[in-house]
Amino acid sequence: MVHLTKIPHDSEVNDLPEAVKKLGLQLNNDDDSFTTSVYGSKFAAEDLPKHEMPENEMPKEIAYRMIKDELSLDGNPMLNLASFVTTYMEEEAEKLMTESFSKNFIDYEEYPQSADIQNRCVSMIGRLFHAPSDGEGAVGTSCVGSSEAIMLAVLAMKRRWKNKRIADGKSAEHPNIIMSSAVQVCWEKATRYFEIDEKLVYCTPERFVIDPEQTVDLVDENTIGICVILGTTYTGEYEDVKGVNDLLIQRGIDVPIHVDAASGGFVAPFVVPEMEWDFRCEKVVSINVSGHKYGLVYPGVGWVIWRDAKFLPQELVFNINYLGADQSSFTLNFSKGASQVIGQYYQLIRLGKKGYRAIMSNLTRTADYLSDALTALGFVIMSKKSGEGLPLVAFRLAAPADPDAEERNYDEFALAHRLRARGWVVPAYTMAPHTGELKMLRVVVREDFSKNRCDALITDIRYCQQLLEQLDKDSIHKQEEFIRKHSMNSDQAKHNHPRFRKEKHSIQGKHGKTHSIC
Ligand SMILES: Cc1ncc(COP(=O)(O)O)c(C=O)c1O
């Protein structure tokens, strides 16, 4: 998530502790306008510019080294089990992507081959999702990620609904969309930014996905569409697209389904190919998928596909005359790099269906193995196994009401903090509303999370548990505070402007659900 950053006041820009500011040492002050050594230069003895753009230049090697050194305090992406986003690509893919850094993807005429490569990816992904070849034909585009893809799909659903309402002489003032209370935050952004009411289908302490009946019961004349998630961000479980589709058909309701397949779109077709969740369901009009999750590309690339061009109102598409050629464009932004699209094409043709199937099968096996190990350690597993959901493990500590629950002084957040001290990023969340404020931990099994690393994680979870079991509440709290302040935060980056802290308008603000990391 990109943070909205506060620009500090003058009084805030010197952030060294007072005692350090007072130390005055008399060391060599020779002018070093020329030095071949990074750490012998004056730059190594000075603060890196943080608030004001410097007046003078610095040598490129020094700028590189200083920034690289600073970044070394970031977490290790390999140990980041919070994120679905790709942290490993082959060198050949990296090379191709690096070679394309300077290409602006939108410049179709200058880079027609890159544009063609996007079209090939759209075609391959659309076919993977069983896009029908009748009618006006399916259409799709690349995006920065699933969030942009979802914004575009929501805009298309809203405009289609509005056009129909106006044609019928009816009010188009109060559009609504039906979705799970466990949606990723981009859905809340979409509804807020485009002024659409949310109709939430709530989870329960036992059910973390939408119930098809409840979902369809919420439809009214102002419903622009239903969001069904193929792999929720919290527990990875697949929502029942076919169930919702069939109910809409049974009841003769003409409302479209958009499938948010951000993660599942590159998993389900390979692990459970028989499952009908895509354009095989006739009410599914659009699907998004993140290329940078199980599509196996570095961030940011996503895709959105419509089953037929008629679901994309013409007035949303702009024909841009770029350097003499007309190009249709439906995106939220204009310029973007071509590298990610090229990286996606590399993965699609390098791995083929067989390669994706092999990787997704291994991930499913590893997730099942981790699930069993955590059950043996006494955790309660909240995710599905054996391909019934994404390859991730969502788990929690036994609650007092659970059989065999033991008294303990720590919760899921304390365990997450302790694991962080070992380098692992295993996030703790508060689940969606109406689940009894269930807390949970989640491990996303990504391509580079091998069985060997999984074993190391299991050992560390056990070790951290044993340590926490020996501590009283106060010590746990102090340790948690310390780790939160110094390991999970640079303690300098004040990401959040005070004006925007503690928002009350989102599902997180209202119900305490954590907007989870993707
Ligand atoms: C179900 C779901 N939808 C949408 C998103 C947003 O995806 P992106 O990060 O590609 O914008 C995520 C991210 O995890 C997700 O899990």
pLDDT digits (tens, 9 = 90+) for 95-140: 999 999 999 888 777 888 888 999 999 999 999 999 998 878 999 9
259-292: b (≥16 Cβ within 10 Å) or e: bbbbbbbbbbbbbbeebebbbebebbbbbbbbbb
pLDDT average, residue stretch 237-255 = 98
Q: Which residue owns the Cα nearest ligand 1 atom 7?
A: 146
What's the rounded Cα separation, in Å, for the pair 278 and 275?
9
Output the pLDDT for position 198.
96
Per-residue confidence band for 275, with pLDDT thresholds at 50, 70 and 90: very high
What's the rounded Cα separation, in Å, for the pair 505 and 187?
13
Tell how far the Cα of 518 is from the centroid of ligand 1, in angstroms: 6
The pLDDT tens digits for 383-442 are 999 999 999 999 999 877 776 667 788 889 889 988 998 899 998 988 767 776 788 999
Joined tokens for residue 89: 């690509």
* Pocket-testing residue among 147, 150, 288, 340, ligand 1, by greatest number of atoms within 8 A of Cβ: 147
Joined tokens for residue 81: 């089990």
Ligand 1 atom closest to residue 263's alpha carbon, by position in its atom list:
16
Tell how far the Cα of 373 is from the centroid of ligand 1, in angstroms: 28
CATH topology for the 94-344 domain: Aspartate Aminotransferase; domain 2 (3.40.640)
Tell how far the Cα of 287 is from the centroid of ligand 1, in angstroms: 12
Output the pLDDT for position 382.
94
Tell how far the Cα of 475 is from the centroid of ligand 1, in angstroms: 36
Q: Does an H or E element contain 244, and which?
A: helix 241-250
Ligand 1 atom closest to residue 230's alpha carbon, by position in its atom list:
1
Per-residue confidence band for 496, with pLDDT thresholds at 50, 70 and 90: low
Tell how far the Cα of 294 is from the centroid of ligand 1, in angstroms: 11
Pick from 140-144, 339-343, 419-423, 513-517: least confident: 513-517
The residues, ordered by sequence, that sit 6+ positions from 250 with a Cβ below 8 Å of its Cβ are none
Percent share of the chain, pLDDT over 90: 64
Joined tokens for residue 223: 């419903």
Output the pLDDT for position 194.
97
Tell how far the Cα of 214 is from the centroid of ligand 1, in angstroms: 24
Joined tokens for residue 44: 């190594």
Instruction: Name the more confident of 230 and 329.
Output: 230
Q: Which of 19-23, 398-402, 442-446 has the highest mean pLDDT?
A: 442-446
Tell how far the Cα of 255 is from the centroid of ligand 1, in angstroms: 23
Between the alpha carbon of residue 457 and those of residues 73, 404, 423, 438, the distances in Å are: 21, 24, 10, 23
Q: Which of 7-16, 409-418, 502-511 has the highest mean pLDDT?
A: 409-418
If you average pLDDT over every residue of the chain, what do you get?
Answer: 88
Q: 343, 118 in Cβ contact below 8 A?
A: no
Pocket of ligand 1 (CB under 6 A): 84, 145-147, 184, 186, 229, 233, 260, 262-263, 290, 302, 518
Output the pLDDT for position 267.
98
Tell how far the Cα of 146 is from the centroid of ligand 1, in angstroms: 5
Output the pLDDT for position 1.
42
Percent share of the chain, pLDDT over 70: 85
Per-residue confidence band for 484, with pLDDT thresholds at 50, 70 and 90: low
The pLDDT tens digits for 207-242 are 999 999 999 999 999 999 999 999 999 999 999 999
Output the pLDDT for position 29.
65
Show the 3-state SS of 59-96: CHHHHHHHHHHHHCCCCCHHHECCCCCCCCCCHHHHHH
Q: Which residue owns the Cα nearest ligand 1 atom 13?
A: 518
Between the alpha carbon of residue 62 and those of residues 4, 44, 52, 70, 98, the distances in Å are: 28, 8, 19, 12, 22
Output the pLDDT for position 89.
97
**Does the pLDDT of residue 486 top 70, yes or no?**
no
Tell how far the Cα of 243 is from the centroid of ligand 1, in angstroms: 23
Q: Which residue owns the Cα nearest ligand 1 atom 16?
A: 233
**Does the pLDDT of residue 502 top 70, yes or no?**
no
* Pocket-testing residue among 142, 227, 237, 290, ligand 1, by greatest number of atoms within 8 A of Cβ: 290
Output the pLDDT for position 479.
72
Tell how far the Cα of 90 is from the centroid of ligand 1, in angstroms: 24
Nearest alpha-carbon partner for 304 in 285, 318, 319, 317:
285
Per-residue confidence band for 30, with pLDDT thresholds at 50, 70 and 90: low
What's the rounded Cα separation, in Å, for the pair 299 and 146?
11
Instruction: Name the more confident of 490 and 151.
Output: 151
Joined tokens for residue 356: 């994706």
Output the pLDDT for position 476.
64
The residues, ordered by sequence, that sit 6+ positions from 277 with a Cβ below 8 Å of its Cβ are 230, 238, 241, 242, 259, 261, 264, 268, 284
Pick from 30-34, 280-284, 317-321, 401-405: least confident: 30-34
Q: Which residue has the tokens 């397949």?
A: 261
pLDDT average, residue stretch 365-377 = 96
Output the pLDDT for position 327.
75
* Pocket-testing residue among 186, 286, 336, ligand 1, by greatest number of atoms within 8 A of Cβ: 186
Per-residue confidence band for 485, with pLDDT thresholds at 50, 70 and 90: low
Ligand 1 atom closest to residue 229's alpha carbon, by position in its atom list:
1
**Does the pLDDT of residue 493 top 70, yes or no?**
no
**Does the pLDDT of residue 492 top 60, yes or no?**
no
Output the pLDDT for position 5.
76
Q: Which residue has the tokens 């020779």?
A: 30
